[in-house]
A and B are shown apart, each in its own frame.
Chain A
Amino acid sequence: MAASLYGPDEAQPALWVYLEHEEGVLERVSLELLSKSRALADAAGWRVAGLLLGHAVDPLVEQAFAWGADEVWVADHPLLEPFRVETHTAVAFQAILQGRPSVFLCGATPNGRDLAGRLAVRLRTGLTADCTDLRLDLEQGGVLIGEVTGFGGGIVALITMPRHRPQMATVRPGVFPLSSPQPGRTGVVIPLEVNLRPEELRTRVVERVVGRGVDLTQAPVLVVGGRGIHGRFDLLQELAALLGGEVGATRPPVDEGLIGRERQVGQTGVVCRPKVAIVCGASGAFQFVVGIQNAGTVIAVNTDPEAPIFEFADYGVVGDALQVIPALIEALRAERVAV
């Protein structure tokens, strides 16, 4: 078996988190990863480090400390802004060889995936994509166990890479809860040398529009439509608006173009943790259920009394969603008037 550029014996007992940021704000998924890493490191006696690449990123260092980093490795250079996989891979690669972390984590975002995919190959190491949980096995000298779904109903696979370092993994936004920040908490800043030369750079950013898309991971209420609502997302939208929530969907309506892909919930969509999920006309395939299993309360409406979704629901209604949902909208409206 081919070896990674450094092995377990040379690795430092540290978890590194790639800190993604946009317009002077750390991405929430990076804070989620810092929160999780802090908990893992505390149990293991390890260190947590943030890797911060960009330009004029000083204000973000404090945030990283507050969310649990012991160290922040900082590369500050105009060519590191905005994100380009070319520049960030080059600098991250040098930083990793310098710091030799045992674990390196990225958000499973467009940029995080691009970076992780390139880095893993450059480092000749493994990459566990889309983990739903992470653990450290200390008896084996700090082997990272990445939990991955998709191997069967209710079954998760535990993925490890015992002989390769860093142990790389990506985690989707919303999978780990945020801890509370500790303002005033400090740590060590480690500046990184940047040897990028503009004339060697090949990626040109011609145009860039930054926006905040829908973020289903933060919705307090999620109203999900499956194939069984026959495209009536307008009804679900009305209900979601009444409850201050967002609309999500299973994969079939997304594939049919009835609703945008950014609203797909599940294994290949978004993993959510709303207080309430109202699931209408979805059978309850495990690839979908993964996306709502962290919900506080699940309500399901389905015409088929045998639909598996009822196994994953607190309240199950056997009925036609196209009748139940309008009635629920009425009932909620009436209640509002009454209050």
Chain B
Amino acid sequence: MESFGISRDGHEWHFVVCMKVVPKPEEVRVDPETRRLDRAGARSEINPPDMNALEMALQLKDRFGGRVSIVSMGPPFFEPYLRVGLAMGADHIYLLSDRKFGGADTLATTYTLARGIQKLGPVDLVFCGEESSDGATGQVPPGLAEWLDFHQITLVTQVELDPLRRVVRGRRERPGGYEILEVPLPAVISVKTGCNEPRFMDYRLKPWAFAPERVTVWSAADLQVDEAFVGVAGSPTQVSGLAQAPSRERKRIRLEGSPEEVARLLAERLREIM
């Protein structure tokens, strides 16, 4: 099995996928008292775009061999969710977990992820999701690429590897168009949400996936981070206050009747407005 991942020149491919666990959107409630997001009652899931990223990495592993490592920065409760990725075909999980990492903004998150990836040794491609539903809306992949000093192709729907020239080619989606970019390895790829069908987990792999040795947890000390760059301390941005969203007053008029009657009333309103 092992030799599968080694190409003719003896290179073993190493694909990394950055994954995060987020609260399920439909279960996040707003606390009527504090009007803040109440995540306590919400179940979590893998950030859905990260499943597309994992699927893209697994397809490359299917084709070229090698291994897929999942890297995540977050609290210990992430672990069981991430193991689903192992049952889908990934090889190992590296969870970067330390109280000191808490409260990280984009700068601190990308720094910490980069230190984790550097500790893995040589890697060829780092895959990220397009965005996290509770995060920095797509700013992590380029920031991570910058810390790693890797090239990047974002919003990719298809990738091709050229093992001989050691380059990756990606189709990057843009509004109304696309571009095909080629950069040398190693590189960071952010994957367009919904561009592929993430495979189901293989239930036969479940016992293997849930074995303790599949997960390595790295603390701040393990990563030998510069503590000025992690967590709250390493985050330039801060929440300096909360405010009422400036919402427009709405008329809140109910229109009643049969579909035909309401339709006539609506048509009248539309004529007035437009």
Task: For residue A238, give the distance in angstroms from its CB to the closest CB of chain B.
Answer: 13
Q: Give the residues from 72 to 95 in chain A that come closer than 8 angstroms, CB to CB, to chain B.
A: 82, 84-86, 89
B46 interfacial by beta-carbon distance below 8 Å: no
A315 touching B251 by the CB < 8 A rule?
Answer: yes
A-side contacts of B246, CB under 8 Å: 133
B139 touching A203 by the CB < 8 A rule?
Answer: no
Q: Which of chain A's residues has its CB closest to B229's CB?
A: A2
Q: Which of A130, A202, A275, A313 contacts B137 (CB 8 A)?
A: A130
A-side contacts of B36, CB under 8 Å: 151-152, 155
Q: Give the residues from 212 to 253 in chain B that come closer than 8 angstroms, CB to CB, to chain A.
A: 226, 228-229, 233-248, 250-253
A184 interfacial by beta-carbon distance below 8 Å: no
A276 touching B179 by the CB < 8 A rule?
Answer: no
Q: Which of B183, B245, B267 contacts A328 (CB 8 A)?
A: B267
B-side contacts of A243, CB under 8 Å: 270, 274
A-side contacts of B164, CB under 8 Å: none
Task: For residue A337, give the distance in angstroms from its CB to the closest CB of chain B.
Answer: 13
On whether A152 and B30 interact (CB within 8 A), knowing A158-B243, A206-B181, A212-B176, the answer reads: yes
A218 interfacial by beta-carbon distance below 8 Å: no
B205 interfacial by beta-carbon distance below 8 Å: no
A293 interfacial by beta-carbon distance below 8 Å: yes
Q: Which of B173, B248, B251, B273 contacts A293 (CB 8 A)?
A: B248
B154 interfacial by beta-carbon distance below 8 Å: yes
B269 interfacial by beta-carbon distance below 8 Å: yes
B-side contacts of A162, CB under 8 Å: 238
A188 interfacial by beta-carbon distance below 8 Å: no
> What mask results when residues 315 to 328 of chain A are scored 1 for a CB within 8 Å of chain B, else 0?
11111100110111
A-side contacts of B145, CB under 8 Å: 118
Task: For residue A151, give the distance in angstroms from its CB to the closest CB of chain B.
Answer: 6
Q: Give the residues from 252 to 273 in chain A that come closer than 8 angstroms, CB to CB, to chain B.
A: 254-255, 257, 261-262, 268
A124 touching B270 by the CB < 8 A rule?
Answer: no
B-side contacts of A324, CB under 8 Å: 259, 262-263, 266
Q: How far is the CA of A253 from the CA of B245 in the complex (A)?
A: 27
Task: For residue A290, give the distance in angstroms from its CB to the closest CB of chain B.
Answer: 8
Q: Which of chain B's residues has its CB closest to A206's CB?
A: B180
B177 interfacial by beta-carbon distance below 8 Å: yes
B255 interfacial by beta-carbon distance below 8 Å: yes
Q: How far is the CA of A203 from the CA of B179 in the complex (A)?
A: 12
> What mask results when residues 85 to 107 of chain A are scored 1 for a CB within 8 Å of chain B, else 0?
11001000000000000000000
Q: How far is the CA of A298 from the CA of B173 in the complex (A)?
A: 32
B239 touching A318 by the CB < 8 A rule?
Answer: no
On whether A118 and B236 interact (CB within 8 A), knowing A286-B30, A312-B250, A320-B259, the answer reads: no
B151 touching A86 by the CB < 8 A rule?
Answer: yes
B-side contacts of A221, CB under 8 Å: 274
* B interface: dominant SS: mixed
B-side contacts of A125, CB under 8 Å: 107, 236
Which of A33-41, A51-59, A109-117, A191-199 lines the interface with chain B? A109-117
* A interface: dominant SS: mixed
Q: Which of B178, B181, B237 contacts A128 (CB 8 A)?
A: B237
A209 interfacial by beta-carbon distance below 8 Å: yes
B252 touching A310 by the CB < 8 A rule?
Answer: yes
Q: Which of chain B's residues has its CB closest to A2's CB?
A: B228
Q: How far is the CA of A128 from the CA of B139 in the complex (A)?
A: 10
A178 interfacial by beta-carbon distance below 8 Å: no
B233 touching A1 by the CB < 8 A rule?
Answer: yes
A210 interfacial by beta-carbon distance below 8 Å: yes
A316 touching B110 by the CB < 8 A rule?
Answer: no
Q: Give the residues from 170 to 190 in chain B that come closer than 8 angstroms, CB to CB, to chain A.
A: 172-184
On whether A203 and B183 interact (CB within 8 A), knowing A160-B240, A209-B177, the answer reads: yes
B274 touching A154 by the CB < 8 A rule?
Answer: no
Q: How far is the CA of A255 from the CA of B130 in the complex (A)?
A: 14
B241 touching A158 by the CB < 8 A rule?
Answer: yes
Q: Give the residues from 153 to 171 in chain A that come closer than 8 angstroms, CB to CB, to chain B.
A: 153-164, 170
Which of A11-19, A142-150, A228-236 lines the interface with chain B? A142-150
A213 interfacial by beta-carbon distance below 8 Å: yes
On whether A316 and B138 interact (CB within 8 A), knowing A126-B236, A161-B236, the answer reads: no
Q: Which of B147, B179, B270 contacts A121 (CB 8 A)?
A: B147
B242 touching A155 by the CB < 8 A rule?
Answer: yes
A121 touching B146 by the CB < 8 A rule?
Answer: yes
Query: 5 smallest A-B Cβ distances: which pairs?
Result: A117-B142, A126-B236, A213-B176, A211-B176, A327-B263
Given contacts A82-B179, A117-B141, A213-B175, 13 further A-B contacts (CB under 8 A): A2-B234, A118-B152, A120-B107, A121-B143, A125-B236, A129-B138, A152-B34, A154-B247, A159-B237, A161-B237, A268-B133, A294-B248, A327-B262
Could you show 25 A-B contacts with beta carbons less than 8 Å apart?
A1-B228, A110-B154, A117-B138, A117-B141, A118-B142, A124-B107, A126-B107, A126-B236, A127-B136, A128-B237, A152-B30, A155-B36, A157-B239, A157-B242, A158-B243, A202-B184, A208-B178, A209-B177, A211-B177, A294-B248, A314-B251, A316-B252, A318-B254, A324-B262, A326-B259
